[in-house]
Amino acid sequence: MGERDEVKLLGTWYSPVVLRAKIALHLKSVDYDYVEEDLFGSKSELLLKSNPVYQKVPVLIHNGKPVCESLNIVEYIDETWKSSGPSILPSHPHDRALARFWSAFVDDKWFPAFIAATITKSEDTKAKGMEEVEEGLLRLEDVFVAISKGKPFFGGEAIGLIDICLGSFLVLLKAKEKLNGEKFLDESKTPFLCKWADIFLSDEMVKNVVPEIDKVAKFIREFEDRAQSVASRS
């Protein structure tokens, strides 16, 4: 791409899905301006104009044109800065289909279960959610073994789509483990995923853009306290 590329990312510092865009931009060595949004205060005009349907972050704005939805943004970055850095999606159509399928599984099936397991109040919903979270991680352990073929990442030697997608939730998982003592990533059940998580979070391309676990834990605690106080007032 030309030198006059203007790249802007609208995000919030704690958002796992914003982290996906940051990692992808970092992998492709793309310079960008980062704009922090205040989702609890008032959203910027730029956000409302750029993502009128969902009014959510992340939004990537490239030479004035917005791209929304985190996995869509990651694919856009991969396709736009094709020759810069390793490919985020595999080259063979079947491997690409698998990467898209399992990333959608993480977002559409596994993460909603995680939310049910950690945020809902009903004990039944929580227990069912926790069961699905564990089942999902066992499934992803099998997927990792099958497609990484002894290499460090889902993407093989380099970080790929599933790595970015699942990896973006690791800090949230670890913050939740710290706060509530639940164990999500368990060495005895998913040893390969545990090892992968360590390698992913300490990778050069990742470690400088992920938020600190303690800071995220503090943010979650404050958010939950606020929600609690609103609920008890109503």
Nearer to a second copy, 65 or 233 (CB): 65
Q: CA 67, CA 198: separation in Å to the nearest integer?
A: 31
Q: How far is the CB of 65 from a second copy (least distance, A)?
A: 5
Structure tokens at 232: 């008890």
Nearer to a second copy, 1 or 201 (CB): 1
Q: How far is the CB of 29 from a second copy (least distance, A)?
A: 17
Positions that interact with a second copy (CB under 8 A): 53, 62, 65, 67-69, 72-73, 75-76, 79-80, 93-94, 96-97, 100-101, 104-105, 109, 139
Q: Burial, 167: exposed, middle or buried (Cβ in 10 Å; 0-12, 13-18, 19+)? A: buried
Q: How far is the CB of 61 from a second copy (least distance, A)?
A: 11
Count of CB atoms within 10 A of residue 211's CB?
A: 18
Q: CA 217, CA 206: separation in Å to the nearest integer?
A: 19
Q: How far is the CB of 176 from a second copy (least distance, A)?
A: 24
Nearer to a second copy, 6 or 187 (CB): 6
Q: How far is the CB of 48 from a second copy (least distance, A)?
A: 15
Nearer to a second copy, 154 or 213 (CB): 154
- Nearest CA to 11 among 76, 115, 53, 20? 20
SS3 per-residue string spanning 66-79: EEECHHHHHHHHHH
Nearer to a second copy, 144 or 206 (CB): 144
